[in-house]
Amino acid sequence: MHKSIQDLLPQVGAWANRDVSNNTGIQRANVWAPDVLRRSSDGRFVTYYSAAAGNTTTNHCIGAAVSTNYSPAGPYRSLPDSIAFPTNVGGAIDPTAFIDSDGAIYVAYNVDGNNHGNGGICGNCVAPIMPSPILLQRMEGDGVTPRGPAVQILDRVSEDGPLVEAPQLVRSAEGVYFLFFSSGCTRAPSYDVKYATAMKITGPSTRAESELLRTGDWDLQAPGSVGVRWDHVAE
């Protein structure tokens, strides 16, 4: 077990908020939602994270860091530049890494549009409702350099409420791509888990007819932000 002084990410990227709280000595970057992959090029690990951008106290953006050793426990050294920095539309959060069957690396994340909403539940139930699309970014083999522009693979619809977020990608043995995501409001019983399928990683996606998990299932309350991995075990 790691202690708090064994910080896996001692320093956020230069793009993030590096101000330090006088009370705690901790950076105000408010880092959350990390994900990790092991890159095949050199065996090192890459972690993707959300952090408050240096020019704002509310918008998060996506950064990456590479392990200084060959352990997923790090520590990690941050890249100076952000992978996604859309502060003009609310920022970006919840990165998730995915390695396709051909070895291509992708990072999915969602634009935090409700962060620029006009009020109501989760800040985005008063018209005009802001979009909160899930985007897919192809990466170079190093896992930290974007390759081309990000593409949209899903966005909220009215039944989702104020947002969609927390994407997770997995490919089945039959070649079907499953995109798991949460909708509703993070701080309310409406928070749930849904999924959509596609035959190409870039879509188009077909939504399932009903939620995968919602409040009341197995006595759960506001289930969401799931982690999914394909175990490659044939049944």
The predicted pLDDT at position 7 comes to: 81
Q: pLDDT tens-digit profile of 75-91?
A: 999 999 999 999 899 99
Q: pLDDT tens-digit profile of 197-217?
A: 999 999 999 999 999 999 999
Residue 207, both tokens: 């939504």
Q: How many whole angstroms separate alpha carbon 222 and alpha carbon 225?
A: 10
* Among 2-6, 142-146, 148-152, 186-190, the least confident range: 2-6
Residue given tokens 């106290």 in the structure block: 57
Q: How many whole angstroms separate alpha carbon 88 and alpha carbon 60?
A: 11
All residues at 6 or more sequence positions from 143 whose CB lies less than 8 Å from its CB, including other chains: 37, 39, 41, 46, 64, 66, 97, 105
Q: pLDDT tens-digit profile of 40-55?
A: 989 999 999 999 998 7
Residue given tokens 């050793």 in the structure block: 69
The predicted pLDDT at position 148 comes to: 96
Backbone angles phi, psi at 35, to 5 degrees: -140, 155
CATH 2.115.10.20 fits 21-214, yes or no: yes
Q: How many whole angstroms separate alpha carbon 191 and alpha carbon 95?
A: 19
Measured over the CA atoms of residue 132, residue 134, residue 138 and residue 141, the dihedral's sign is positive
Q: Decide if 221 contacts 187 (C-beta within 8 A).
A: no
Residue given tokens 């802001």 in the structure block: 130
Backbone angles phi, psi at 89, to 5 degrees: -120, 20
Question: With 0-12 CB in 10 A as exposed, 13-18 as middle and 19+ as buried, what is 114?
Answer: buried
Quickly state the pLDDT bin for 232 (edges 50, 70, 90).
low
